[in-house]
Amino acid sequence: MTKAADTSTTERDRDRANKARRLFFTNLFDLSWRLAGAMLLPIFIGLYIDSVVGRGQAFALTGFVVGMILGALVLRNVVIKLSKGQ
């Protein structure tokens, strides 16, 4: 193999690794904000309703359960999206 062929192979491998790294961090960021919104928003809404109503923490707990369900759905959708991309 010539030196030019070795260089182009190395550059191709480096480009592939950079593309994979960029894709990984893009998907990680996408998952982060989706999970944060899906899990925290229902809890904060429940806390707000509890503060207005003033009767314990029933809505906050309900928001927690809803947030966990939405978080599981977000994870499922991201896994499906990533598996289709491969």
The per-residue pLDDT for range 23-60, each reduced to its tens digit, is 888 888 988 999 999 999 999 999 999 999 987 889 99
CA-only gyration radius of the chain, Å: 22
The one-character DSSP state at 64 is H
pTM for this prediction: 0.73
State the pLDDT confidence band at 65, using cuts at 50, 70 and 90: very high
- Is the confidence at residue 5, as pLDDT, over 90? no
pLDDT at 2: 55
- What mean pLDDT comes out for the span 54-71? 92
CB 71 within 8 A of CB 39: yes
Give the helix/strand (H/E) hosting 45.
helix 3-53
CB 70 within 8 A of CB 34: no
pLDDT at 41: 95
- So where are the chain's domains? 3-85
